[in-house]
């Protein structure tokens, strides 16, 4: 994924026409569009190829299975036209390696969730976040997903993974995180959903975020 703006749209709407309309409006401000279960379950997998004409597509399916099933899932998602898949890291090295191997064969990307951005991530996930980050680096994943709600954790994770891997970071806006703060802490991209797609003017909301991050990229 090429970094031009540092912004990834999280398109968690459930209506096909709305998804296309928002993508059209913000395409000039985003480096990728992240879609997940809300949109794909309501509209179908062909939504991926339909939106891929606006920007590269990151499929946020948080894949979390045994190696063989991880590989089978990623195969289908890439076949549908996605450029990247988000997988969970807590399933361990072999599950991750199966996804990364397939992605490399197809010149696609795998992003690994280290610890999530919501408060409940402190219950279990945070304790293993650093180990997952190290595993993602060892497996040569393209990058990790780390929380904009905790820029200090993003800075920690950056130290562990070095500069080979990217950090894509959700939690800006609706979840309370700041785009410029997390970019300063070491994220390469922010992932933003509601603050853009629920805004009266999504293009303006996206532009504001891009302008805010510009000097720190």
Q: Which residues bind ligand NUP (CB under 6 A)?
A: 10, 12, 36, 60, 86, 113, 116-117, 145, 147, 170-171, 173-175, 191-195
173 carries a ligand binding annotation:
yes
Whether 62 sits among the annotated catalytic residues: the reply is yes
Whether 201 sits among the annotated catalytic residues: the reply is no
Q: How far is the CB of 63 from ligand NUP (least distance, A)?
A: 12
When the beta carbons of 68 and 161 are compared against ligand NUP, the nearer one is: 161
60 carries a ligand binding annotation:
yes
Helix H, strand E, coil C: the string for the chain is CCCCCCEEEECCCCCHHHHHHHHHHHHHHCCEEEEEHHHHHHHCCHHHHHHCCCCCEEEEEEECCCHHHHHHHHHHHHHCCCCEEEEECCCCHHHHHHHHHHHHHCCCEEEEECCCCCHHHHCCCHHHHHHHHHHHHHCCCCEEECCCCCHHHHHHHHHHHCCCCEEEEECECCCCECHHHHHHHCCCEEEECHHHHCCCCHHHHHHHHHHHHHCCC
Q: How far is the CB of 9 from ligand NUP (least distance, A)?
A: 9
When the beta carbons of 70 and 117 are compared against ligand NUP, the nearer one is: 117
When the beta carbons of 34 and 71 are compared against ligand NUP, the nearer one is: 34
Which of 31, 60, 83, 109 is an active site residue? 60
Q: How far is the CB of 139 from ligand NUP (least distance, A)?
A: 19
Task: List, as residue ranges, the binding site for substrate.
Answer: 12, 34, 60-69, 117, 170-180, 193-194
Active site residues: 60, 62, 65
């Amino acid at each position: 994924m090429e970094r031009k703006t540092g912004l990834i749209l999280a398109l968690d709407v459930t209506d096909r026409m709305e998804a296309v309309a928002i993508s059209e409006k913000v395409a000039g401000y985003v480096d990728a569009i992240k879609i997940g279960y809300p949109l794909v379950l309501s509209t179908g997998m062909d939504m991926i190829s339909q939106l891929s004409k606006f920007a590269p597509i990151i499929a946020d399916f948080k894949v979390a299975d045994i190696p063989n099933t991880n590989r089978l899932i990623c195969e289908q998602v890439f076949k549908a036209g996605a450029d990247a898949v988000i997988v969970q890291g807590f399933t361990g090295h072999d599950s991750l390696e199966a996804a990364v191997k397939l992605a490399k064969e197809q010149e696609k990307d795998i992003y690994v969730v280290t610890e999530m951005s919501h408060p409940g991530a402190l219950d279990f996930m945070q304790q293993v976040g650093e180990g997952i980050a190290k595993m993602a680096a060892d497996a040569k994943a393209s990058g990790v997903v780390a929380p904009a709600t905790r820029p200090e954790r993003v800075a920690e994770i950056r130290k562990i993974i070095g500069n080979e891997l990217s950090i894509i970071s959700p939690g800006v806006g609706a979840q309370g995180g700041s785009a410029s703060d997390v970019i300063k802490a070491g994220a390469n991209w922010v992932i933003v959903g509601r603050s853009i797609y629920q805004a009266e003017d999504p293009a303006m909301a996206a532009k504001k975020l891009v302008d805010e991050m510009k000097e720190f990229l």
